[in-house]
Structures are given as C-alpha cells and as structure tokens.
Amino acid sequence: MKYIVLLLLIASIFSISRVSVHDPSIIEDNGHYYIFGSHLAAAQSDDLINWMPLSTDYQNPTNSIIYGNLRENLAGSFKWAGYDDGDCSGGKYAI
C-alpha cells in the first residue's frame, strides 16, 4: 500500500508517460525494462515509471516491430487457431 501512495504522489508532482499493454510481462536488460503484452503491444522504460511505446495492439499486422508479418511468421499458430477468429475476422484485427 505504501508503494501505491508513493506512486500516486510522484504522479501528482511529475508528468508520467504511460502505455497500455494487455497481460504484461516485464523483462530487464542492462538497466532497460521492456514490457510485452498478449495483444502484441510493447514498450520500453529506464525507470519502470515512464514508458515509451514500441508498438501498439495489432498496430500493423503485416509489419509488426517484433514479429514482422504476422500472417507469415505466425503461420503455425494460425494453422492451429485459425486466422479469422473472433478477434481478427477477415484478417482485420479488433480488440
């Protein structure tokens, strides 16, 4: 609880850069933090408070910053799950 109050206090004093990442996983690499989400959003931070977006949810399914062309590079997953499921009817991604 102390940490939440501290973060709220910091937020009220400083401008904080936020991002939205669904089901986040955070990794650290040489003092830099990266967050990746299940809907393909990603961001980078040096302090775990201010985040810079690297990509957004399904921003560009033909040229993802991490996965490249989703249809081609995740073909094995789409073969199992289907490309035209409820979230991406007709190859158009929606959340």
Nearest Cα to Cα of residue 61 among 33, 80, 89, 27? 89
What tens digit of pLDDT does each residue of 39-49 get?
Answer: 788 899 999 98
Question: Which uninterrupted H or E stretch holds 11?
Answer: helix 2-13
Determine the pLDDT at residue 76: 83
Number of domains, the chain: 2
Residue 25 in this model has a pLDDT that exceeds 70: yes
Task: State pTM to two decimals.
Answer: 0.61
What tens digit of pLDDT does each residue of 52-85 get?
Answer: 988 876 666 777 777 788 888 888 877 776 666 5
Domain that holds residue 21: 17-57
- The answer to whether residues 48 and 75 belong to one domain is no
What are the C-alpha distances in Å from 34 to residues 14, 64, 69, 73, 85?
Answer: 22, 16, 21, 22, 29
More confidently predicted of 34 and 39: 34
Question: Are the C-beta atoms of residues 74 and 82 closer than 8 Å to each other?
Answer: no
In a domain, 5, yes or no: no
- The answer to whether residues 21 and 53 belong to one domain is yes
